[in-house]
């Protein structure tokens, strides 16, 4: 039997995804001793065992007491009733003989069934823990602490954040059905992304309650279609309750209520790294609300000015990175930037990808070479047209005409934001494909849902777009 078979059996027996955290914080104890920490955890186990799918003791709160704490931790694990998995929250990570020693300490000396590990030393550092299919591992993937984004959201090859790449790699390592991921409950969008990337893997989602994670949002983001695939650990919320058993029952019932209504709420429409970029554009005043006249003559309640990116190099590079997953799926020889707003964007893309760039001039020179398209190229090469926005197809057609007149082939247009003003249809009718990182409706839904813009502003834009009620 694999570890996750063992866990599933317990979940079905208790009808519970609730994992009871055993974290004897000093403020919970009458005296700062190992024995007091042990007795505190014994009390929680006795009060909540029939409601728990697992228990998760945190080794740090025992190790602080030295050898006596180690003994107390072993006694806490031994007190968990047979048939209930114990996940040791230790976050170990090392290599070679050290990793073997840690594995023996966790599984043999302490008697835990699973452990949390850091993945950043690679697969060989995990192998001693994964060797026995009956023992489980939860790898840190997207954690709930404020500093997690320092590393975990770094872009890998401009395509996806590090934590998503890790999730895919970890899924490939899960050959014995005993490897899961830790994804914090404070980021339901990241949970959604991970679940989409690895539909079957088990997730441990700490952060509900004291750290601010919303239980319902977390469950809707991370549960598998079968209503399983997640373990929800709660520590302080239960330990601090007037009656821990009553609170455990309440949380278990809330979890099961959401499990029974999974299909009612859609998942977020944007990935976490794109929502962060959307918010950054708003904060940089690249998006404004009011009454504006567009180039087409249309009156709009929203104005998007991506020319400001030229003065914000860090944001410019983030914007350029957002184009890369779209471009990866296209076949082209060169980028073609549409002046003027797209020139810095396409330059940043070129610097990140190494792809050469050309651009069609707005006015053909009557001196020098008299070029209509600047940059080096060969006739017959395929270019992808890069622009900042798309409203109608007008300006795109002007650029495409000059590029084609110079002997270049154009099939695809890529923009950051599709304003949904008919450009997709206009271009499609002429045989061109429009690709967008965002649609304006996606941005408005996100900003309104996150409280970044008022509901009135959102409603005005939706009315302008002809969407909504």
Q: Catalytic residue positions?
A: 91
- The helix (H) or strand (E) run that includes residue 181 is strand 179-183
- Return the beta strands (E) in 236-379 as ranges: 287-293, 299-304, 334-337, 357-360, 373-374
User: How many CB atoms are located within 10 Å of the residue 390 CB?
Assistant: 28
Residue located via tokens 């006596």: 68
Strand partners, 385: 336, 413
Residues with Cβ < 8 Å from 127, sequence gap 6 or more? 99
Strand partners, 231: 204
Alpha-carbon gap, residue 68 to 73, rounded angstroms = 9
* Residues 29, 69 contacting (CB under 8 angstroms): no
* Residues 232, 259 contacting (CB under 8 angstroms): no
Alpha-carbon gap, residue 324 to 302, rounded angstroms = 26
In the structure encoding, which two tokens stand for residue 426, read together?
A: 């206009």
Strands 334-337 and 357-360: parallel
Alpha-carbon gap, residue 106 to 260, rounded angstroms = 36
């Amino acid at each position: 039997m694999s570890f996750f078979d063992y866990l599933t059996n317990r979940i079905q027996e208790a009808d519970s995804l609730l994992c009871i955290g055993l974290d004897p914080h000093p403020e919970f104890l009458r005296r700062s001793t190992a024995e007091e920490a042990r007795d505190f955890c014994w009390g929680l186990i006795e009060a909540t065992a029939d409601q728990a799918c697992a228990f998760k003791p945190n080794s740090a709160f025992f190790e602080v007491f030295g050898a006596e704490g180690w003994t107390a931790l072993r006694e806490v694990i031994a007190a968990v009733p047979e048939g209930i998995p114990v996940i040791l929250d230790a976050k170990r990570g090392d290599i070679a003989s050290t990793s073997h020693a840690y594995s023996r300490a966790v599984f043999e000396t302490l008697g835990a069934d699973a452990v949390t590990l850091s993945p950043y030393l690679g697969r060989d550092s995990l192998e001693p823990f994964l060797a026995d299919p009956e023992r489980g591992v939860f790898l840190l993937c997207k954690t709930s602490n404020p500093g997690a984004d320092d590393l975990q959201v770094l872009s890998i090859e401009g395509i996806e954040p590090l934590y998503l790449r890790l999730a895919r790699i970890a899924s490939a390592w899960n050959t014995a059905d005993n490897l899961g991921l830790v994804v914090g409950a404070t980021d339901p969008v990241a949970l959604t992304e991970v679940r989409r990337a690895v539909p079957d893997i088990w997730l441990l989602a700490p952060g509900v309650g004291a750290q601010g994670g919303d239980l319902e949002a977390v469950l809707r983001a991370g549960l598998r279609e079968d209503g399983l695939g997640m373990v929800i650990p709660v520590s302080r919320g239960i330990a601090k309750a007037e009656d821990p058993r009553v609170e455990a029952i309440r949380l278990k019932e809330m979890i099961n209520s959401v499990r029974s209504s999974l299909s009612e709420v859609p998942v977020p429409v944007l990935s976490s790294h794109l929502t962060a970029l959307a918010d950054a554009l708003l904060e940089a005043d690249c998006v404004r609300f009011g009454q504006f006249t567009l180039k087409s003559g249309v009156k709009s309640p929203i104005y998007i000015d991506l020319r400001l990116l030229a003065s914000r190099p860090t944001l410019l590079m983030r914007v350029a990175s957002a184009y890369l997953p779209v471009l990866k799926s296209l076949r082209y020889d060169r980028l073609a930037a549409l002046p003027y707003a797209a020139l810095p964007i396409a330059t940043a893309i070129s610097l990140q990808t190494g792809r050469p760039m050309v651009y069609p001039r707005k006015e053909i020179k009557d001196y020098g070479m008299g070029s209509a398209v600047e940059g080096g190229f060969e006739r017959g090469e395929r270019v992808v047209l890069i622009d900042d926005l798309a409203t109608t197809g007008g300006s795109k057609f002007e650029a495409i005409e000059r590029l084609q007149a110079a002997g270049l082939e154009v099939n695809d247009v890529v923009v950051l934001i599709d304003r949904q003003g008919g450009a997709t249809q206009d271009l499609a009718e002429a045989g061109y494909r429009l690709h967008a990182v965002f649609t304006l409706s996606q941005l408005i839904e996100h900003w309104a849902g996150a409280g970044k813009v008022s509901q009135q502003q959102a409603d005005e834009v939706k009315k302008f777009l002809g969407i909504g009620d």
